[in-house]
């Protein structure tokens, strides 16, 4: 097959890939863009799959850019084809269907894949991962075709709990199996986890912490999952099993090349890898962070988008700089909105903790300070104006003059240090 | 683009802007019906902040580099090509609150009704002048062309 040529090649068509298109087109209106995705859907938002599963969003509303987005941006979109091999020297990517594409600039935005736990019986029918559109559709189909009364979700992190939320809406009884001593242990502290844990129990969920599934069992000839055995020897009914123990960056494409990787593909502040003209963005990369010295893989939507956008502008000759970000998540569980930003669960002396809790309303706020700078926040139950705190983190603002106001109910723009307030509002028509 | 300019010097904290914003985004756009019959009332999309003698009214700044646009995972948040305003397509919004998490002004809120969608200033789409500006008795809010 003849090698095709393109000026910009983007492997991956989610947040970072789409943002990259927009970044390129900001500067270069004409250059040839080819986007290749290993999925068979023209465009969809991955975080929406739990809404799809829970019947809160229809298939036709899963996209986050319109049907004509690719035409309008003159993008050659290739679906259902996987990048297999990268020749860094000749600048060629080889694809699963034997096609090869020569590029001037490449963005690797291949995202991450779920880690499959090594459990006996994980090949049985009714055992699923939960990260893609096709996963959600397959789970939906399975529920439609078979009697699913009890489900087991392995992993009490964000993906697991989003699956739980959707399954609860479908009226399925759920058991969550979590290895750590509490759910949401990477994003929340003990108190915040506790609030959500109690709310989940009230909706009828069973939560098993410090536990794992050792085997998934079937009781029929069709090899349908029926039971799981826990480490503690308990057996739980499981007509459906969802594994959500984590996601790892899809770096296979750069294996055996000179591109430097750690957990993800390492990139500089322009989102370029150590090889000129090859960029990476989104869940596959490890980029600068705001609060730590070393680069980190922070697989969240807003980071992927920002990184993709910056990569795109730079690929087209711009000079955009990624100043780093922090982990942040916004999830509503059991009707309780929650937001967590940055470092949330630290016990060391160098951090100062401000807290507010109204038990009866499931409201909890926590602010983590280091040398009079906010490095983390948790909001449970009341998330209004949380972005103001994000702004204080992202802009590294000294909050010593407003420390006693940070937890006040009416904390707002008026309370911000004057210099920062002026900077914030300076360009946008506010005289305060 | 045309933006709402806020002048703290002239703001008296009367909160008329909030009242008119609520009415404008109600079903009937009638003040009596909105306040007496609509439950829940729509949320105000302009917030009057007050501390001591200082007050000002704040609504979406329709930022040039808007963090809510980057964060929106559904594509609901978009920039209106004609006016430059940052708007929320309520049919697409699912209430994930990523916009609330990233807006440095804290001017996006959860709609008070069951729809669970983001509520923010839409510059009173279709009106020549946003109602908060039109009804500000002391010209603390102005609607003018900005440099960009």
B100 and B70 in a single domain? The answer is yes
How does residue B8 score in pLDDT terms, banded at 50, 70 and 90?
confident
B42 and B90 in a single domain? The answer is no
* Residue A418 touches chain B, beta carbons under 8 Å: no
- What total number of domains does chain B contain? 2
pLDDT of residue A346: 75
- Say yes or no to pLDDT of A344 above 60: yes
B50 and B71 in a single domain? The answer is no
Stretch A48-73: mean pLDDT: 95
pLDDT of residue B113: 81
B122 SS3 class: coil
Kindly state the greatest CA–CA separation across chain A: 73
Q: Say how far apart CA B67 and CA B80 lie, in whole Å.
A: 16
Least Cα distance to A297 among A306, A289, A282, A286 occurs for: A286
Stretch A326-347: mean pLDDT: 92
pLDDT of residue A353: 94
For A69, nearest residue in chain B (alpha carbons): B75
Stretch B36-46: mean pLDDT: 93
Average per-residue pLDDT in chain B? 93
Stretch A69-76: mean pLDDT: 97
pLDDT of residue A366: 96
For A415, nearest residue in chain B (alpha carbons): B51
Asked if B9's CB is within 8 angstroms of A430's CB, the reply is: no
Asked if A413's CB is within 8 angstroms of B106's CB, the reply is: yes
Helix (H) or strand (E) holding A136: helix A133-145
Least Cα distance to A311 among A335, A287, A290 occurs for: A287
pLDDT of residue B103: 97
Q: Which domain holds residue B101?
A: 64-106
Q: What confidence tens digit (pLDDT) does each residue in B66-125 have?
A: 999 999 999 999 999 999 999 999 999 999 999 999 999 999 999 988 778 999 999 999
In the beta sheet, which residues pair with residue B55? B50
- Say yes or no to pLDDT of A432 above 70: no
Indicate the burial class of A199 (C-beta count within 10 angstroms; 0-12, 13-18, 19 or more).
middle
pLDDT of residue A1: 79
| B4 to B52, B54, B57: CA distances (angstroms) | 24, 19, 10
Q: Say how far apart CA A70 and CA A24 lie, in whole Å.
A: 13
Stretch A274-284: mean pLDDT: 98
B2 and B55 in a single domain? The answer is yes
- The answer to whether residue B114 is domain-embedded is no
Compute the nearest-CA separation of A430 from chain B (Å).
5
pLDDT of residue A321: 97
pLDDT of residue B136: 97
- The answer to whether residue B73 is domain-embedded is yes
pLDDT of residue A82: 95
Asked if A387's CB is within 8 angstroms of B102's CB, the reply is: yes
Say which CATH number the domain at B130 has: 3.30.70.20
| A374 to A326, A347, A384, A406, B9: CA distances (angstroms) | 12, 15, 18, 10, 31
The CA R_g of chain A, rounded to the nearest whole Å, is 23
Q: Say how far apart CA A58 and CA B41 lie, in whole Å.
A: 28
Stretch A355-365: mean pLDDT: 90
Pairing of strands B141-145, A173-177: unpaired
Pairing of strands A240-243, A127-129: parallel
Q: Say how far apart CA A350 and CA A369 lie, in whole Å.
A: 9
B15 and B47 in a single domain? The answer is yes
Least Cα distance to A287 among A302, A309, A305, A272 occurs for: A272
Look at A42-51, A290-299, A355-364, B120-129 and tell me which has the smallest mean pLDDT.
A355-364
Q: Say how far apart CA B122 and CA B6 lie, in whole Å.
A: 16
- B100 closest CB neighbour out of A305, A330, A425: A330
Asked if A65's CB is within 8 angstroms of B104's CB, the reply is: no
Compute the nearest-CA separation of B32 from chain A (Å).
28
Q: What confidence tens digit (pLDDT) does each residue in A220-246 have?
A: 999 999 999 999 999 999 999 999 999
B96 and B139 in a single domain? The answer is no
B47 and B8 in a single domain? The answer is yes
pLDDT of residue B148: 58
Look at A161-170, A255-264, A349-358 and tell me which has the smallest mean pLDDT.
A349-358
Stretch A283-308: mean pLDDT: 96
CB A362 within 8 A of CB A192: no
Asked if A387's CB is within 8 angstroms of B109's CB, the reply is: no
N- to C-terminal Cα separation, chain B: 6
For chain A positions 228-287, those within 8 Å of chain B (CB to CB) are none
Least Cα distance to A133 among A54, A50, A241 occurs for: A50
- % of chain A with per-residue pLDDT over 70: 98
- Say yes or no to pLDDT of B137 above 50: yes
Stretch A80-96: mean pLDDT: 97
Stretch B133-137: mean pLDDT: 97
| Residue burial A383-400, b: 16+ Cβ < 10 Å; e: rest | bbbbbbbbbbbbeebebe
Least Cα distance to A168 among A199, A135, A212 occurs for: A199
Q: Which residues does A399 contact at the CB level (< 8 Å), separation at least 6?
A: A369, A372, A373, A374, A392, A406, A417
Q: Say how far apart CA A94 and CA A116 lie, in whole Å.
A: 26
pLDDT of residue B9: 87
Looking at beta carbons, which residues of chain B come within 8 Å of A66? 75
In eight-state DSSP terms, residue B75 is S
pLDDT of residue A427: 55
Asked if A45's CB is within 8 angstroms of B101's CB, the reply is: no
In eight-state DSSP terms, residue B10 is G
CA dihedral (A53, A298, A75, A85) positive or negative: negative
Q: Say how far apart CA B147 and CA A422 lie, in whole Å.
A: 17
Q: What confidence tens digit (pLDDT) does each residue in A98-134 have?
A: 999 999 999 999 999 999 999 999 999 999 999 999 9
Stretch A184-188: mean pLDDT: 94
- Say yes or no to pLDDT of A399 above 60: yes
* Residue A318 touches chain B, beta carbons under 8 Å: no
pLDDT of residue A273: 98
Give chain A's domains with CATH numbers: 4-46+64-113+248-315 (3.50.50.60), 127-245 (3.50.50.60), 335-426 (3.30.390.30)
- ∠ Cα A243 A245 A246 (to 5°): 120
Look at A59-73, A336-350, A373-387, B99-113 and tell me which has the smallest mean pLDDT.
A336-350
B38 and B72 in a single domain? The answer is no
- The answer to whether residue B116 is domain-embedded is no
B68 and B97 in a single domain? The answer is yes
The CA R_g of chain B, rounded to the nearest whole Å, is 15
Average per-residue pLDDT in chain A? 95
Indicate the burial class of A311 (C-beta count within 10 angstroms; 0-12, 13-18, 19 or more).
buried
pLDDT of residue A426: 64
Side-chain-side CA neighbours of residue A427 (13 Å): 10
């Amino acid at each position: 097959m003849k090698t095709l040529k393109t000026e910009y090649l983007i492997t991956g068509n989610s947040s970072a890939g789409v943002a990259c298109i927009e970044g390129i087109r900001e500067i270069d209106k004409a250059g040839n863009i080819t986007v290749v995705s290993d999925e068979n859907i023209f465009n969809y938002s991955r975080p929406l799959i739990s809404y799809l599963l829970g019947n809160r969003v229809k298939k036709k509303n899963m996209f986050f850019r319109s049907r004509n987005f690719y035409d309008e941006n003159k993008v050659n979109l290739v679906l259902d084809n996987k990048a297999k091999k990268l020749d860094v020297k000749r600048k060629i990517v080889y694809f699963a269907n034997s096609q090869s594409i020569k590029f001037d600039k490449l963005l690797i935005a291949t995202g991450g894949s779920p880690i499959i736990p090594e459990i006996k019986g994980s090949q049985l029918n009714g055992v699923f991962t939960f990260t893609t559109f096709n996963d959600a559709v397959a789970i939906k189909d399975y529920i439609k075709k078979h009697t699913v009364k009890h489900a087991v979700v392995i992993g009490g992190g964000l993906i697991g709990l989003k699956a739980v939320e959707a399954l609860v809406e479908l009226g399925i009884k759920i058991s969550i199996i979590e290895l750590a001593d509490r759910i949401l242990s990477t994003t929340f502290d003990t108190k915040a986890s506790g609030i959500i844990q109690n709310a989940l129990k009230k909706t009828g969920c069973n939560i098993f912490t410090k536990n794992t599934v050792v085997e998934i069992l079937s009781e029929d000839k069709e090899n349908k999952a029926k039971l799981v055995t826990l480490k503690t020897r308990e057996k739980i009914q499981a007509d459906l099993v969802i594994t959500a123990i984590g996601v790892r960056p899809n770096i296979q494409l750069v294996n055996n090349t000179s591109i430097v990787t750690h957990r993800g593909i390492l990139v500089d502040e322009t989102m370029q890898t150590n090889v000129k003209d090859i960029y990476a963005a989104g869940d596959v990369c490890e980029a600068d962070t705001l609060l730590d010295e070393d680069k980190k893989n922070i697989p969240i939507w807003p980071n992927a988008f920002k990184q993709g956008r910056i990569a795109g502008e730079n690929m087209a000759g711009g000079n955009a700089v990624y100043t780093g970000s922090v982990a942040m998540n916004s999830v509503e569980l059991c009707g309780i909105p929650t937001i967590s930003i940055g470092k949330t669960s630290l016990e060391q002396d160098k951090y100062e903790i401000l807290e507010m809790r109204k038990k009866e309303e499931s409201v909890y706020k926590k602010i983590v300070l280091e040398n009079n700078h906010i490095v983390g926040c948790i909001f449970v139950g009341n998330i209004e104006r949380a972005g103001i705190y994000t702004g204080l983190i992202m802009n590294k603002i000294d909050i010593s003059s407003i420390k006693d106001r940070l937890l006040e109910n009416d904390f707002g723009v008026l309370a911000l240090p004057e210099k920062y307030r002026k900077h914030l509002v300076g360009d946008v028509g506010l005289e305060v | 683009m045309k933006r709402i300019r806020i002048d703290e010097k002239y703001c008296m904290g009367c909160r008329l802007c909030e009242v008119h914003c609520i009415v404008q985004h109600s079903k009937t756009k009638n003040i009596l019906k909105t306040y007496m019959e609509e439950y829940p009332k729509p949320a105000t999309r302009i917030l009057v902040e007050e501390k001591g003698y200082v007050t000002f009214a704040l609504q979406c700044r329709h930022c040039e580099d808007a963090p809510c646009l980057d964060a929106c995972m559904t594509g609901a948040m978009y920039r209106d090509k004609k006016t430059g305003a940052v708007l929320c397509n309520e049919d697409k919004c699912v209430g994930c609150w990523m916009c609330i998490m990233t807006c440095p002004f804290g001017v996006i809120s959860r709609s008070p009704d069951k729809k669970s969608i983001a509520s923010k200033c839409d510059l009173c789409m279709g009106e020549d002048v946003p109602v908060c500006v039109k009804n500000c008795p002391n010209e603390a809010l102005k609607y003018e062309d900005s440099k960009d």
